[in-house]
Amino acid sequence: MEFKETVAEIKFDNRFADQLPADSNPSKQPRQVYKAAYSRVEPTRVKAPELVAYSKEVAEKLGLPADFLESPQFVETFTGNQLLDGMDPYAMCYGGHQFGNWAGQLGDGRAINLGELVNPAGEHWTLQLKGAGLTPYSRTADGLAVLRSSIREFLCSEAMFHLGVATTRALSLSLTGEQVVRDMFYSGNPAPEKGAIVCRVAPSFIRFGNFQIFAARQDDDTLKQLIDHTITANFSHLGEPSAEVYVQWFHEVAQRTAEMIVDWMRVGFVHGVMNTDNMSILGQTIDYGPYGWLDNYDPDWTPNTTDAQFKRYRFGNQPQIGMWNLVQLANALVPVIEDVEALQAGINLYGETFGNGYSAMMVSKLGLNAFVAETDDALLENLQKVLTFVETDMTIFYRRLAELPLSEGDSERSDDEWLAPLLDAYYLPEQLSADAKSQIADWLRSYAQRVQADGTADEDRKSAMNAVNPKYVLRNYMAQVAIDAADEGDYSVVTELLELLRNPFDEQPEMEKWAVKRPDWARSRPGCSMLSCSS
C-alpha cells in the first residue's frame, strides 16, 4: 500500500463532538462557555517539531501503520501542525473543586482533543495533545507545556500502565522548537524553557468536573446529555441509559475509583493534585503534574509545594480524598439521577471496595493467600510502624522481604540476623535503635508464622510478591535525571527509562543502578522532592 493509503486507513468516529452541544463562538478568546460541552479549536502551529520518544505499545494498540510512525508526518500530526482526515479538534468545558473549594469553569486550557480514533479492534481511543496552544479555557495562561513536565507526564503514564495501575496513556513526546517562559517556583524568577507536547490517549478524557460545571450552572439538560453520552460511549456494557442504569453507572465509577487508589497505595504513588477536575470518570489516573513516588515510606508526604501547608493530597490521605471527590460528583448528578439514597449507596460502595481492596492488596504485597482479619489487622498495623522507625525505602523493603527464607521454622535467629537481609532498605541503618530493631524482628517473626500458617513455599511466595511489588518505579530523582539530560539535548535517558519501566517487576541486571535508594543529592533538590504546579 502507498503511504497515503495506509494513513487514510486510520479511522475516526468523534462521538463526544458529534453527540454533545458545541460552543457556537469560534474564537479562542478565554471566556465563560455556556450550554456547551466543548469548543472547537485548532492546535496552534509550532515552529520546529521534533519527536523525542513514542510508546510502541500505544502505537500498536491504536493500530498506527509502521510507515506512518517513521514518517515526518507523525510528529507533524502529534504536535498539531497537520491533522489527519477525520480529526475534529476541540477543548472540553469543565469545572472543579481545587483544594476543597469550588473553582468554577476550568476546562481544557492547554489540552486539545484531536478526535476518537477507531482501532482495528473497533475500540475508540481519544487522542489529546497537551500543550498545543490557547483555547477558550486557557484563562490567563498560555496553553503551552514545557519539556520538563512533559517528560514527567509521558514517562509516568507509561510506567503506571506497566505497573498495572489504571491510567491514561501517552503516545508521543515531542519538542515544539519554541521557548516557553515559566517561573518554576512562583518565586519571581521566570526563565525560558523548551516547549513540548505530549499526545495522551484514553477511551475518554471526561472528568468529574465535566459533570460539575453543568450542575453548578443549573444546566440540567446538558448535564443529562453528558451522562447519557458517557454511558453509551464508555459504559455500554450497562445497557441503554435509564434510571436504573444511571445508578449502576455511578456505582461502577465509585468502584473503579477505589480500585485505582488501591493501586496507587500499592506502588507508592502520590498524585499530588486530586482536584475534581483531575479525576477521570473512567477511574484512570489522569493529569500527571506535581506527582511523586514514595522513596522512604511516609504517609504524610506530598511532593506538591502548592499543598505544603495542609498536605491535603498527601499519600495517606488519598483514599479519603477519593471519597470526598465522589461526593462532589454525586452532588452534581442529583439533578438528573435524583435518587439520593442510591447515590449515597455508591459512596458507601466506594468505602467497602477500597477497604476490602486495600486489605487484599496489602496481604498480596506480603505474599499471603488472603486477608484474615483476626491475624492480619494487627500484622498490617504493626507493619506501618515497622516502615517508619527510620527512613525505609518502600520499594526495596518489599523486594527484600520477598527474599527472606521463612518456610523453615527458626526461632533461633537473633534480631540482627532477622534484619540483615533488609538493611539495604534503610537510608540510615545506624539510626535504628535496639528497641526499633527488636520490634522489627518481632514483626518479622509474626510474619514468618503467618506465612507458615498459609503453607506457602519461599519460592512461590517470592514470585507472588515480585508480581505485585515492583523492582523499578519512576523515582522522583530518575525523572529529574532524564530532564537534566534532555535540557542538554540528550534524550537517551528518557528512552532508557521508558524501556526500563516497561518491565517494572522483572530483574533487569544491567539496569540495577535504577533500583537503588534515592541518592543524597536528590533529598532536597527541586524536581526531586518538591514540585510545583508550574508546568
Catalytic sites, residue numbers = 277
**14, 244, 389, 432 from 298: Cα distances, Å:** 44, 42, 11, 17
Of the pair 95, 115, the CB lying nearest ligand AMP is at 95
Q: Is 285 in the site for Mg ion (CB under 5 A)?
A: no
The cell for 461 is 511466595
Residue 139 CB, nearest distance to ligand AMP (Å)?
A: 6
Question: Contact at 8 Å (CB) between 403 and 367?
Answer: no
Q: Is 142 in the site for ligand AMP (CB under 6 A)?
A: yes
CA–CA separation, 64 and 180 (whole Å): 30
The cell for 177 is 522548537
109 binds, among Mg ion, ligand AMP, none (CB under 5 to 8 A by kind): ligand AMP
Sequence length of the chain is 535
Residue 209 CB, nearest distance to ligand AMP (Å)?
A: 8
110 binds, among Mg ion, ligand AMP, none (CB under 5 to 8 A by kind): ligand AMP
Sign of the CA dihedral with 339 first, then 261, 531, and 281 last: negative
CA–CA separation, 283 and 168 (whole Å): 10
CA–CA separation, 313 and 305 (whole Å): 11
Question: Contact at 8 Å (CB) between 535 and 146?
Answer: yes
Residue 389 CB, nearest distance to ligand AMP (Å)?
A: 36
Residue 512 CB, nearest distance to ligand AMP (Å)?
A: 35
Q: Is 107 in the site for ligand AMP (CB under 6 A)?
A: yes
CA–CA separation, 306 and 316 (whole Å): 17
CA–CA separation, 161 and 164 (whole Å): 5
Degrees to nearest 5, angle at CA 183 with 180 and 188: 135
Residue 107 CB, nearest distance to ligand AMP (Å)?
A: 5
Q: How many residues contact ligand AMP, by CB under 6 A?
A: 17
Q: Which of 55, 126, 128, 138 binds ligand AMP (CB under 6 A)?
A: 138
Residue 419 CB, nearest distance to ligand AMP (Å)?
A: 42
The cell for 225 is 446529555
Report the site for ligand AMP in 187-206 (rule: CB under 6 A). none
Q: Where are the alpha helices (DSSP H) in 86-188?
A: 147-162
**72, 203, 524 from 174: Cα distances, Å:** 12, 22, 29
Of the pair 149, 222, the CB lying nearest ligand AMP is at 149
Of the pair 107, 504, the CB lying nearest ligand AMP is at 107
Q: Is 287 in the site for Mg ion (CB under 5 A)?
A: yes
Residue 293 CB, nearest distance to Mg ion (Å)?
A: 19
Residue among 117, 357, 170 at smallest CA distance from 261: 357
Of the pair 212, 255, the CB lying nearest ligand AMP is at 212
Choose the stretch contacting ligand AMP; rule: CB under 6 A; options: 77-85, 136-144, 360-368, 513-521: 136-144
Q: Is 273 in the site for ligand AMP (CB under 6 A)?
A: yes
Report the site for Mg ion in 264-283 (rule: CB under 5 A). 278
Choose the stretch contacting ligand AMP; rule: CB under 6 A; options: 154-162, 272-280, 336-344, 375-383: 272-280
144 binds, among ligand AMP, Mg ion, none (CB under 5 to 8 A by kind): ligand AMP
Cβ neighbors of 270 (< 8 A, separation 6 or more) are: 264, 291, 292, 293, 294, 301, 302, 303, 313, 314, 315, 318
Q: Is 376 in the site for ligand AMP (CB under 6 A)?
A: no
Report the site for ligand AMP in 284-343 (rule: CB under 6 A). 287, 289
User: Which residue is closest to Mg ion by CB?
Assistant: 287
Degrees to nearest 5, angle at CA 272 with 475 and 376: 75
Residue in the structure block whose three cell numbers are 528518557:
494
Question: Contact at 8 Å (CB) between 61 and 10?
Answer: no
Supply φ then ψ for residue 525, to 5 degrees: -80, 130
Q: Is 256 in the site for ligand AMP (CB under 6 A)?
A: no
Q: Is 528 in the site for ligand AMP (CB under 6 A)?
A: no
Q: Is 278 in the site for ligand AMP (CB under 6 A)?
A: yes
Residue 499 CB, nearest distance to ligand AMP (Å)?
A: 27
Residue 273 CB, nearest distance to Mg ion (Å)?
A: 7
Q: Is 153 in the site for Mg ion (CB under 5 A)?
A: no
Q: Is 110 in the site for ligand AMP (CB under 6 A)?
A: yes
Q: Is 149 in the site for Mg ion (CB under 5 A)?
A: no
Q: Is 141 in the site for ligand AMP (CB under 6 A)?
A: yes
Choose the stretch contacting ligand AMP; rule: CB under 6 A; options: 133-141, 163-171, 357-365, 453-461: 133-141
Question: Contact at 8 Å (CB) between 137 and 33?
Answer: yes
Q: Is 113 in the site for Mg ion (CB under 5 A)?
A: no
- Burial state string for 360-394 with b = 16 or more CB within 10 A and e = fewer than 16: ebbbbbbbbeebeeeebeebbebbeebbebbbbbb
CA–CA separation, 363 and 369 (whole Å): 7
Q: Is 109 in the site for ligand AMP (CB under 6 A)?
A: yes
DSSP letters spanning 171-183:
EEEEEEEEEEEE-
Which residue ranges make up the site for Mg ion (CB under 5 A)?
278, 287
- Interface residues toward ligand AMP, by CB under 6 A: 106-110, 137-138, 141-144, 273, 277-278, 287, 289, 533
